Structure 1
Amino acid sequence: MEEAMFGKRCSLCGGKLNSNGICTECGLDNNKSDKNYRINQSECDHEPLTHVHYGKNEKPEKQPKPNTPRQSWQGSQKDNNRQQDQSWQGSTTTYSGNTGSTGRKKVGKKKKPGRIISKIIAVIVIFNVFFGIFQPMVSDILDDVISGYQENTQDYTRSDPYENVTKELPADGESVSFELTSGDYVVGVHIPEGNYQADVSYDYDTVQVDDWDSGFYLYEYAGRTDGDYLDDLRLYNGAIVHISSQTTITLYSDNAQTENILYENNPLAGQEPLVVKKDLTVGPDLPAGVYDLILVSGEGSVDVDIYTEYGESMETKNLYLGENCTDGKEYKNLVLPKNAQITLDDNMELRLTPSEKVSTTDYYQYYNY
């Protein structure tokens, strides 16, 4: 029996060696040089993990050196990309054994500028194509709309408010002139019937006429773009003229029917004026009647809500009293039936004085039109 080599083991399997250096377990000749038997080694150990084996007649492609920065898609930015690639390579850590995986730290993928620019160019191209196709259509539509609007505004004329009126006013009468502050005036009571003209101080001083018997309604001011009837106010008995002015409006006529004036004396005449500093209700706080409102101090809005005797809403008046307000500093001939409510802005003070003339003492009937 061959004598074992004392103290030596097989470099392959660790088995005992005989006197000739042959493993008694696997038969490996342990007398050979390590360069012929590279146990647990490979000729690729010193190559990069991404290297490729080629055939005898194949030529390997030139590979960049391990430490050479990758080239940018745009040659003019080599320096910037070199700096980015070097910082990226600097994050490389150790390899994990022979498994082929790396311990390289994962870096977020950066969007290439070329792709962003390409998308922007594509959007611009699509928009230009779309606009080129539909531009004539859109232009035609806009031209039609603008043209139609201009024609409507230029050709629009206000209809004649008197076209259905059958009444006629006498040609003869007296020449009269009335300087009126804001308020409600009944034709045949406060103003004689007749053809009138109005002189206003401001473009938005208004003359409003409600004539239910004759079947027409006017809302006239100098600032109307469709024309006004301030020079042709036909006032018939029973109509109500609402004046709104910062100062006064002057009405004058050459055929006023001064003989047809019918009115009643105010039953509240002679009573002391009532100074009001807070909201009030007609009935509990003051008697029903016709009043002149005069601003004592402050300025702001005065809301007058008219209700029936059963509490149903009939009408709301919104007055604005003050030095430069639309209704000036007073409002004449305000009819207040029972249950009417007056609401004042803060810091306002009013004086309510019974009006001189009234058209009726049936204050609810005044609002039944």
Structure 2
Amino acid sequence: MDMKYDKCPICNEKLKNGICPMCGYDFKRLESGQRSGNRGNRPDYRARPNEEPKHSMTKQHKQAHRQFRTEKKRGAGKLIKFILSFVVISSIFLDAVSEVDIGQLMKKVRTFMSEDEKKQWTKTMPDHTYEDTDYDLEKTGKRFSVNLTSGRYIVGLDLPEGNYTMTAGGEELYFSANNDAQNIGIYEQFTDEKILDVKRYCKVKNVRLYQGSLIEVTGRGHINCETSDANMKKMEEPRKNPLSKEVEVDGVMTAGKDFPAGTYDVVAVSDGGEFKFTYEQDKDDEFGANSIWLSEDSKGEDPEKFVNLELMKGTEIEIPPEGYFQVRLIPSKHVRPENMHVYDSLNGLDS
């Protein structure tokens, strides 16, 4: 009897064109082999492409991702990789023996892995991430929670200093937190789906956000940030944005020349595509251009806007000249403070 696969029995992922997007198992070949009775046609095992996410933003964000994806997998990551390899190799062998055997094997593996499900999807930031910090965070006992959508945020302005637990509210989200003064650089990938991926987590604990840290979130949805030790005493009063006029982006434009420099929310008003921006001091840098992928389609994979982006004088912005992709700059509610040394250091500004 032929077996029809809609989901991967290994990862429980929905198949795309008959191939599991997680482990790369080609079930089209398996089904074809079952129909023809030719057991010599074994399914291919193809590694999942390890592409750099198009949501990546600043040069620091891109560099962090490259370092992140080349780091060795530890603990559960190595175990999961070993199990997947074992299952695929075993399934190829068992496919030549019996359809019933392969189903039983995969069922056992899924049962085994589900017993450790919590550890797979939750991560605790190791203490050595903060070994160069100047001080310990206060135990205030004050609770604070906020949902951060795609955009930039500053600790002490948009959310208080504290030890946070981050929880995904979207399928594919990226989070970074950088603080030069405390020598902290955090980069994490989030998902709210129960998938087998050692690099993406539903929840990350012990994320210590120090005053002045620059946070960047990209992707559709939000990341919930919750702490029980919010340091509200360090919160600064944000300054209201003096800008009020919206800007329709047309081709290539320069802040301070074609439109007023300042802090804007970048919003897709038609179709979707890539919004590029290059700071003046980075124009001669091969990797100087940054990008935001946006989509006005509520069902698309990209967010419809990116908030709190500072476009300083001389910053060049660009959208593709062809197509129907239209972008509007809407003045953000508040402006970014000029004395934030971490924010300045990331963008090459002078304090």
Partner residue of 1:247? Answer: 221
Partner residue of 2:289? Answer: 316
Q: In structure 2, do the counterparts of structure 1 residues 353 and 150 end up closer, same or farther at CA, with 3 Å as the change threshold?
A: closer
Partner residue of 2:131? Answer: 163
Instruction: Output the CA distance in 2 between the equivalents of 1:263 and 1:150.
Output: 42
1:179 aligns with 2:154: no
Partner residue of 2:313? Answer: 338
Partner amino acid, structure 2, of 1:360:
P
Instruction: Output the CA distance in 2 between the equivalents of 1:285 and 1:272.
Output: 13
Q: In structure 2, do the counterparts of structure 1 residues 277 and 359 end up closer, same or farther at CA, with 3 Å as the change threshold?
A: closer
Partner residue of 2:232? Answer: 258
Partner residue of 2:78? Answer: 154
Partner amino acid, structure 1, of 2:180:
W
Equivalent residues of 1:263, 1:358 under 8 A apart = no
Structure 1 unmatched runs, 5+: 1-148
How far has the Cα of 1:264 moved from its partner? 4.2
Partner amino acid, structure 1, of 2:225:
L
Instruction: Output the CA distance in 2 between the equivalents of 1:302 and 1:351.
Output: 10
Partner amino acid, structure 2, of 1:299:
G
Q: In structure 2, do the counterparts of structure 1 residues 312 and 305 end up closer, same or farther at CA, with 3 Å as the change threshold?
A: same
Q: Deviations over 1:315-366 (max 9, x none)?
A: 4321110135554001011011111111113322222122122232479946
1:193 aligns with 2:117: no
How far has the Cα of 1:200 moved from its partner? 1.0
Give the root-mean-square deviation of aligned CA atoms.
3.3
Instruction: Output the CA distance in 2 between the equivalents of 1:349 and 1:272.
Output: 17
Q: Could you tell me which of 208, 230, 252 is aligned with 1:234?
A: 208
Equivalent residues of 1:180, 1:250 under 8 A apart = yes
Bigger RCO (CA 8 Å, 6+ sep):
2
Partner residue of 1:359? Answer: 336
How far has the Cα of 1:276 moved from its partner? 2.2
Percent identity between matched residues is 23
Other structure's SS at 2:78 match: helix
Partner amino acid, structure 2, of 1:337:
M
How far has the Cα of 1:190 moved from its partner? 0.9
Deviates more, 1:335-344 or 1:278-287: 278-287
Instruction: Output the CA distance in 2 between the equivalents of 1:203 and 1:165.
Output: 32
So what's the TM-score if we normalise by structure 2?
0.55
Partner residue of 2:180? Answer: 212
Equivalent residues of 1:266, 1:354 under 8 A apart = no
Equivalent residues of 1:198, 1:250 under 8 A apart = yes
Partner amino acid, structure 1, of 2:266:
L
Equivalent residues of 1:289, 1:361 under 8 A apart = no
Q: Which has the higher helix share?
A: 2
Q: Deviations over 1:169-207 (max 9, x none)?
A: 111142111122100101111111111111213453111
Q: Deviations over 1:200-229 (max 9, x none)?
A: 134531111111111011111236626768
How far has the Cα of 1:265 moved from its partner? 1.5
Structure 2 unmatched runs, 5+: 1-71, 82-122, 192-196
Partner residue of 1:296? Answer: 269
Instruction: Output the CA distance in 2 between the equivalents of 1:348 and 1:361.
Output: 32
Q: In structure 2, do the counterparts of structure 1 residues 304 and 263 end up closer, same or farther at CA, with 3 Å as the change threshold?
A: farther
How far has the Cα of 1:164 moved from its partner? 2.9
How far has the Cα of 1:162 moved from its partner? 2.1
Number of aligned residue pairs: give it.
Answer: 219
So what's the TM-score if we normalise by structure 1?
0.52
Partner residue of 1:276? Answer: 249
Q: In structure 2, do the counterparts of structure 1 residues 286 and 176 end up closer, same or farther at CA, with 3 Å as the change threshold?
A: same
Q: In structure 2, do the counterparts of structure 1 residues 285 and 151 end up closer, same or farther at CA, with 3 Å as the change threshold?
A: closer
Instruction: Output the CA distance in 2 between the equivalents of 1:227 and 1:246.
Output: 15
Equivalent residues of 2:179, 2:213 under 8 A apart = yes
- Structure 1 or 2, whichever has the larger Rg, is 1
Instruction: Output the CA distance in 2 between the equivalents of 1:356 and 1:330.
Output: 14
Structure 1 segments (4+ residues) deviating >4 Å: 149-153, 155-159, 226-229, 310-315, 324-327, 361-364
Partner residue of 2:55? Answer: none
How far has the Cα of 1:233 moved from its partner? 1.2
Instruction: Output the CA distance in 2 between the equivalents of 1:296 and 1:150.
Output: 40
Q: Deviations over 1:296-319 (max 9, x none)?
A: 1110111111113x9655943211
Q: Deviations over 1:112-171 (max 9, x none)?
A: xxxxxxxxxxxxxxxxxxxxxxxxxxxxxxxxxxxxx99997389997422333421111
Other structure's SS at 2:187 match: strand
Q: In structure 2, do the counterparts of structure 1 residues 291 and 362 end up closer, same or farther at CA, with 3 Å as the change threshold?
A: farther
